[in-house]
Amino acid sequence: MLGDDHLKLRLVRLQPSELWTNPSRNEDEFTFVFIKGGIAKYVFPNATQRLVTGNILVFTKNSVGKLYADEKSECAFATFSLLFEHLFPLFASNEIGLLHNVMSNFKAGRIFMSGSSVAVECQPILESAYTQARLQQRSQLLRIVAAILNDEFKNVHTQRSGLGWAEDHMIQVFEKLSSAELLKLSVDELAAKFSCSRRHLNRLFHQHFGLSITALRMEIRLLKAVSLLRNPREKVINVAEQCGFNHLGLFNTCFKRRYGTSPGQWRKAALGPENPSARKSENKPACPLHANGLCPWGGQMEALKTPEKINATGNLPTAQGRPNAPRAQSGSAI
C-alpha cells in the first residue's frame, strides 16, 4: 500500500543559495529530482556537482550530499519519492542478487546528465505525467523508476563482465533460478546446480552477495511477508504459512529480529493513521540483500535504510540511531 506522499509529483522552487530540505519522513525513501529551470548544486563533503535543466538526481534521506539553488540563480525542479519496498514483488531472483549493488549507487546520490540515455528516455514520460490523473500519473512515474533501475542493472552486469569463470558461472546459474527454487531446494541441491560443494557455494554467496544462502532465503521470505501483511484481510498465521514458516512463533521471532516489531504491530503501524510512531514502524522494511554494508536503507536493511548484515539464522542487528531530520521544504503538488 502506497503512502499519500509516495509517487506524488511536486514542483519545488528555490531562491538563490537556498537549501532544499528533503521532506522524506524516513531513511528508506528514495527521492527523484528533475531540474526544470535555473541552476542547482548538489554539494558533497569534498565536491560540488552543478545541475542544470534536464539533469536527474536520485538520492536518499541519508545521502551525504545536499541540494542548493545556485548563488546567482533561482532553481525549479519536479520531484517525487518512493520506497523500493513497494517494488520488491516485481524483482526476479537474479535482480534481487544484484540489487544491493544497484542500490548502493544511490546512497551518496546518483546524477544522470541531460544527454544520457536515461534522461532522454525519462523526460518525455515526466512531461506526460503532469496533466494526468493520479493513477495514470503514478504509472508514468513507475515507468521512470523502471528506466533508471534498468540502466543501473546494466551497469552492474558490465562491472561483473571481468569475473573469472567460476564466479561468472555462479552468476549465470543464479540468474536462472526462480525465487521458488531458491526457497525450496536444499542447500545440497543448490550446490549440485552450481557444480560445487555446499561449503564452496556458501563462500561464493558471501563473497558476491554479502550473506549466506540461508540468510538470503530468510530475507526473501520476510520481504514476501511484508508485502502480504499490507492486506488487512490476510491473517498473520496464513502469511506465515505462505512464506514457508511452519510455526507461527518462529515467524514472529524472525520477523521481530528483522524489523524490530511483531508482524501484527508492523501491520497496524503501516496501515494506521499517519503519525510519527506509525511512520517509524512502517519504515522498518528493508532492501532484500545486504552486501559489504552497501544497503541503501542503512541500520536495520540500517532497516528500509540499508539492511544491516543478516547472519545465517536470519538475525539482524538493531538499527543505529539517526539524527533528527531537518525542516522540510514545502512544495506544491502538481
Residue 314 DSSP SS3:
coil
DSSP 179-200: HHHHHHS-HHHHHHHTTS-HHH
Q: Could you tell me if 14 and 99 lie in one domain?
A: yes
Q: Could you tell me if 25 and 154 lie in one domain?
A: yes
Task: Give the distance between the most distant pair of CA atoms in the chain.
Answer: 64
CATH number, position 261: 1.10.10.60
Which grid cell is 268? 497496524
Q: Is the pTM of this model over 0.95?
A: no
pLDDT digits (tens, 9 = 90+) for 280-301: 444 444 444 443 332 332 333 3
Cβ contact 251:314 at 8 Å: no
Residue 202 lies in a domain: no
> How far is 191 from 67, CA to CA, in rounded Å?
47
Residue 191 lies in a domain: no
> How far is 34 from 80, CA to CA, in rounded Å?
9
Q: Could you tell me if 65 and 153 lie in one domain?
A: yes
Residue ending a domain, choose from 282, 297, 329: 282
Domain total in the chain: 2
Q: Could you tell me if 149 and 220 lie in one domain?
A: no
Q: Could you tell me if 136 and 231 lie in one domain?
A: no
Q: What is the pLDDT along the chain (334 residues), one digit of tens a residue?
A: 455 678 889 999 999 999 998 877 777 788 999 999 999 999 987 889 999 999 999 988 778 788 999 999 999 999 999 887 778 777 776 677 677 777 777 777 889 999 899 999 999 999 999 889 989 999 999 999 999 998 888 877 666 554 454 566 666 677 677 777 777 788 888 888 777 778 878 877 777 667 778 888 888 889 889 989 988 899 999 999 988 898 899 999 999 999 999 999 999 888 875 434 434 444 444 444 443 332 332 333 333 333 333 333 333 333 333 333 333 333 444 4
CATH number, position 63: 2.60.120.10
Q: Could you tell me if 155 and 228 lie in one domain?
A: no
> How far is 219 from 99, CA to CA, in rounded Å?
13
Q: Could you tell me if 91 and 17 lie in one domain?
A: yes
Q: Could you tell me if 68 and 148 lie in one domain?
A: yes
Q: Could you tell me if 100 and 22 lie in one domain?
A: yes
Specify the pLDDT at position 318. Answer: 31
> Which residue range(s) make up the domain with 128?
10-159
Specify the pLDDT at position 107. Answer: 74
Residue 291 DSSP SS3:
coil
Residue 112 lies in a domain: yes
Q: Could you tell me if 23 and 154 lie in one domain?
A: yes
Residue ending a domain, choose from 127, 159, 191: 159
Residue 109 lies in a domain: yes
Angle at 41 between CA 105 and CA 152, to 5 degrees: 20
Specify the pLDDT at position 296. Answer: 30
Q: Could you tell me if 15 and 151 lie in one domain?
A: yes
Which of 36, 69, 68, 74 has the alpha carbon at shortest distance from 55?
36
Angle in degrees, 0-180, between the axes of helices 93-107 and 198-209, rounded to the nearest 10: 30
> How far is 33 from 77, CA to CA, in rounded Å?
6
Q: Could you tell me if 145 and 26 lie in one domain?
A: yes
Residue 62 lies in a domain: yes
Which of 240, 239, 235 has the alpha carbon at shortest distance from 251?
240
Residue ending a domain, choose from 282, 303, 318: 282
Residue 330 lies in a domain: no
Residue 294 lies in a domain: no
Residue 145 lies in a domain: yes
Specify the pLDDT at position 97. Answer: 65
